[in-house]
Amino acid sequence: MKGSHHIAIESSRLKYEFDIKRNITIIQGDSATGKTTLIDLLNTYGRYGVESGIMLNSDVPCIVFSANPITWQDTLKTYNDSIIFFDEDYSFIFSKDFAETIRDSSNYYVLITRQPLYNLPYSIKEIYGIRTTGKYHFPEKIYHEFYPIYTDVGIYEIKDAVVLVEDTGSGFQFYQKICGADKCQSAGGNSKIVGKLENMPHDKHVTVIADGAAFGAYVASVLAISKRMSDVQLYFPESFEWIILKSGIIKVDNIDNILERPEDFIESRAFFSWERFFEDILVKATIDDPIRRYSKSKLSSFYYEGKNKDSILSIMPKGVFDKII
């Protein structure tokens, strides 16, 4: 499945309206915001349809998972091109088996949980809370909407910085070339950023760079520890490949539209996370050109020299590298 899907579900007293645009969406936030009530509405509609007095507007089926937790894999395989909602308390959603099961699926998944899902590559941009809008006193109709919890994650301040990059791939190689090897370190993977960050010298300013498209499980911990440190700034672009494509140094048909609305082009069955999609575009667009050929494991000098380097840097928010290049 691909595309953004607008969902509106309402009864005479309650209405929820939101958009789901990636294969994995997380709902969390404060208690008593209406998460369980949303599930109740969807579940009741699923069971009784319009006879329930609930109206659902969606271009794809919306299903609340309610099967036996023992046979969940079999149950999930019976759904296609649907949005499947999970209320909290299903422990299997944290397992590798769950990640493997939904990886090649045509469904989108909406998971209500505060516990990080380390086996799933979900975006920091698709972690939402629910809030009421307008009047909210019984018996008037109550309107609920989703809001992104981590919209403010970005550059906090301009500072002289040591750069901590999540991995050792092409992105790290780029940042190391432009910052100098002494100022750029790899954390060695998403799960090691917190530990590495915590052990940074206290007199150093640190910029953390990670692919936002798959950093959702880690963002809360990184934010928590960065608040305890004196000088940390965070930069979570969609992915390094997204930055390259955005810079325009590689010509790709229709790229402006693709980057404007990726959800309309990314098939969930083919790409578990958006960063894989952007990598795929870049690899295919450069495969026949030995100079430009893009590889995640080894970055061609084409990308970190001369005007191309400047074009890539121009995509990054002002402040990321101002004082260290």
Partner 1 sequence: MLSIYFGEKDNVMNGPAWFRFNYEAKWLSEGLVSRMIRDIDKSEYQGGELIMSDVLGPIPPERLSGGLQTLICIYNKPELMFNATSCGENCAKWLLEMGKDKDISINLRYFMPFENLEPFEIRILNEDKIVMNMDEYTRTAIKYV
Would you tell me which residues interact with partner 1 (CB under 8 A)? 13-14, 28-37, 88-89, 113-116, 132, 136-139, 142, 194, 198, 220-221, 224-225, 227-228
Q: Is 35 exposed, middle or buried (0-12, 13-18, 19+ CB in 10 A)?
A: buried
Beta carbon of residue 45, minimum distance to partner 1 (angstroms, whole number): 17
Beta carbon of residue 142, minimum distance to partner 1 (angstroms, whole number): 5
Alpha-carbon 282 to chain mean position? 19
Distances (CA, A) of 111 to 86, 213, 245: 5, 17, 30
Beta carbon of residue 30, minimum distance to partner 1 (angstroms, whole number): 4
> Which residue stretches of the chain are H helix?
35-48, 72-77, 96-103, 170-179, 193-198, 219-228, 240-247, 255-260, 274-286, 306-315
Distances (CA, A) of 143 to 1, 22, 130: 28, 23, 10
Beta carbon of residue 224, minimum distance to partner 1 (angstroms, whole number): 5
Beta carbon of residue 228, minimum distance to partner 1 (angstroms, whole number): 5
Nearer to partner 1, 77 or 96 (CB): 96
Nearer to partner 1, 142 or 162 (CB): 142
Nearer to partner 1, 114 or 261 (CB): 114
Beta carbon of residue 33, minimum distance to partner 1 (angstroms, whole number): 8
Q: Which residues of 212-249 are buried (b: 16+ CB within 10 A; e: fewer)?
A: bbbbbbbbbebbebbeeeebbbbbbbbbbbbbbbbbeb
Structure tokens at 294: 């893009």
Nearer to partner 1, 36 or 314 (CB): 36
Nearer to partner 1, 137 or 318 (CB): 137
Beta carbon of residue 17, minimum distance to partner 1 (angstroms, whole number): 16
Nearer to partner 1, 140 or 260 (CB): 140
Rounded distance between C-alpha atoms, residue 86 and residue 35, angstroms: 11
Nearer to partner 1, 60 or 194 (CB): 194
SS3 200: coil
Phi, psi of 278 (to 5 degrees): -65, -40
